[in-house]
Amino acid sequence: MRQPWTSLTRSGLAAAFGAAARLRHGRPVHASGLVLDAHLCLHGTPEPWGVPFLDQRMDLPGIARLSRSVGVPPPLPDILGLALRWDQDDTSADLLLATSGRTALGRRLLRPATRWTGLYSSLFPYQAGERRVLLGALLHTPVRLPATLDALAQVVEHGPLTVALLAAAPSGPWRPFGQVRLSAPVLTDADLPTRFNPLRHPIAGLPPASWLNDVRDAAYASAQQVPDLPEKARDLSGVA
């Protein structure tokens, strides 16, 4: 049963994100990004979680969107986002990650960055059977890559980038369970409008956990009712 304060928080965030979306004529955060091809190659973690996505070998096609959150001009630091969508079990799944710290506490907190290279965390936990798990990624680049969309596009046009996929108990060490290969073509939001929502497109066997996910679902739903622009008002999967 939803607690009254949770409902109040949901309502407040939904109103705030909806107002911000209308003010910015689209996404309230991560307004501009680049969409890349993504290929997930999973090999599982050393210690099984009891979830196919984390335990089994899989090759999954998908897309990725990398973006700056607040939109402050480079070279000022910003929260960087890495959104993934892939097809699994005849449906699509979304994963949202953002730059964070590396400690047990830091992985639950947003951290501004000046380069695309670094750690990205789900911040919010998922439920894996009786345990909770955080998902993360470590982005590797062949050169020092400043956190601009132009620099990212130039590097990807010359060759793919590799992202290590990670899983961890809330206070445990990160363990790799796969890689994502990011490659051209590089598309803008005008080329391929996308809206990601990990609450509406969950990972098979990994439902979002905690009341925080319940709260942010309302914020996402409210913000995504406002299209980026009239001609972009659609989700990649055809669901607004």
Could you tell me which residue, 13 or 61, shows the higher pLDDT? 61
pLDDT tens digits along 187-232? 998 898 888 988 889 999 999 987 666 666 555 555 455 455 543 3
- How far is C-alpha 145 from the geometric centre of its chain's CA atoms? 20
Mean of per-residue pLDDT scores for the chain: 82
Phi, psi of 213 (to 5 degrees): -70, -35
pLDDT tens digits along 13-53? 334 333 343 344 445 465 789 999 999 999 999 899 999 99
Instruction: Output the pTM of the full model.
Output: 0.80
Phi, psi of 215 (to 5 degrees): -70, -45
Q: Which of 104, 129, 120 shows the shortest CA–CA distance to 53?
A: 129
CB atoms within 10 A of CB 146: 14
Indicate whether 123 pLDDT > 50: yes
pLDDT at 214: 67
Mean pLDDT of 114-133: 95
Mean pLDDT of 91-119: 94
pLDDT at 195: 86
pLDDT at 8: 41
Strand partners, 126: 133, 208
